[in-house]
Amino acid sequence: MQIQGLQKMTLLDFPGRVACTVFLAGCQFRCPFCHNSELLGESEPGIMDDAQLLKFLESRRGILEGVAFTGGEPLMRKELPALLAKIKELGYPIKLDTNGALPERLKEVVSAGLVDYVAMDIKNSPARYAQTCGLPDMGKLLARVEESKNFLLESESAETSPDSPFDYEFRTTCVAQLHDAASFEAIGPWIRGAKRYFLQVFTDRETVPFAGLTAPSPEEMRAYADIVRPFVGDVQIRGGE
């Protein structure tokens, strides 16, 4: 299995842990604000293979406290569960970033105890999902995203092992040209009962495929957070000020 990128240490990608971040190529979406647009195609060459990644992780035991997988969309890789199992054998907790479009695979890795923390994107309100994902229409994808969302919401009441508790967050990267108050007036009820929701401040980079996108103002970000708070246990703004 080819690995397209590796950040050897991060304090940001896995809440509460010193971790490394593994980048995998391939994604169904074409979000105009994507920070990792170079990883959208599945044919992107790798910088290492899974054996080399495992050797790196073996050498960092006692230093790193977790491994975060991001993309692209990591669940597009059919070999992922086998790799996650090997990483768990090394004793590492695992975080998975996902867009939610592959609910069967999400359920598989969570139910098998291969993932400890899931960060799922909520791109926008259902009415603006296709636009925000850079697609002409969502087709059946929106229903699949909703299935993943509901699975995570229902995990609140699911029994988990004390030795391997499962946790999750929802998150939205906020872009002034794509999000407004009406977006969050719809998102709040859509994720009602969620444990944790982050509004992430968009930051422009060279890898963002569309020029001219900007972040909402700090005042707008706070207003959006206030709109969602009646529906979610913990709402926070990530980034910005």
Strand, helix or coil at 189? helix
Q: Does domain 2-170 have CATH number 3.30.450.20?
A: no
Is it the case that residue 157 has pLDDT exceeding 60? no
Question: What are the two backbone dihedrals, phi and then psi, of residue 156, each rounded to the nearest 5 degrees?
Answer: -55, -35
| pLDDT per position as a tens digit, 69-79 | 999 999 999 99
Does residue 10 register a pLDDT over 50?
yes
| Residue 16 token pair | 């509460």
pLDDT band at 240 (very low <50, low <70, confident <90, very high): confident
Cross-strand pairs, 2:
49
**pLDDT for 132 beyond 90:** yes
Map out the domains of the chain as residue ranges: 2-170
Give 37-70 pLDDT, tens digit per residue: 888 888 788 999 999 999 999 999 999 999 999 9
Q: Is the pLDDT of residue 110 over 80?
A: yes
Please enumerate, as own/partner, the contacts of 82-89 that have beta carbons within 8 Å and a separation of 24 or more. Answer: 83/1, 83/50, 83/53, 84/109, 84/114, 84/115, 85/112, 85/114, 86/50, 86/54, 87/54, 87/57, 88/113, 88/114
Chain length of the chain: 241
pTM, to two decimals: 0.94
Q: Tell me how far apart the alpha carbons of residues 129 and 139 are, in angstroms, rounded to a whole number.
A: 11
Report how far residue 211's alpha carbon sits from residue 181's, in angstroms, rounded to the nearest whole number: 23
**Average per-residue pLDDT for the chain:** 94
- State pLDDT tens for residues 195-207: 999 999 999 988 8
The confidence score (pLDDT) of residue 162 equals: 46
Residue 102 has pLDDT above 70, yes or no: yes
Bond from prior residue into 72 cis (ω within 30 degrees of 0):
yes
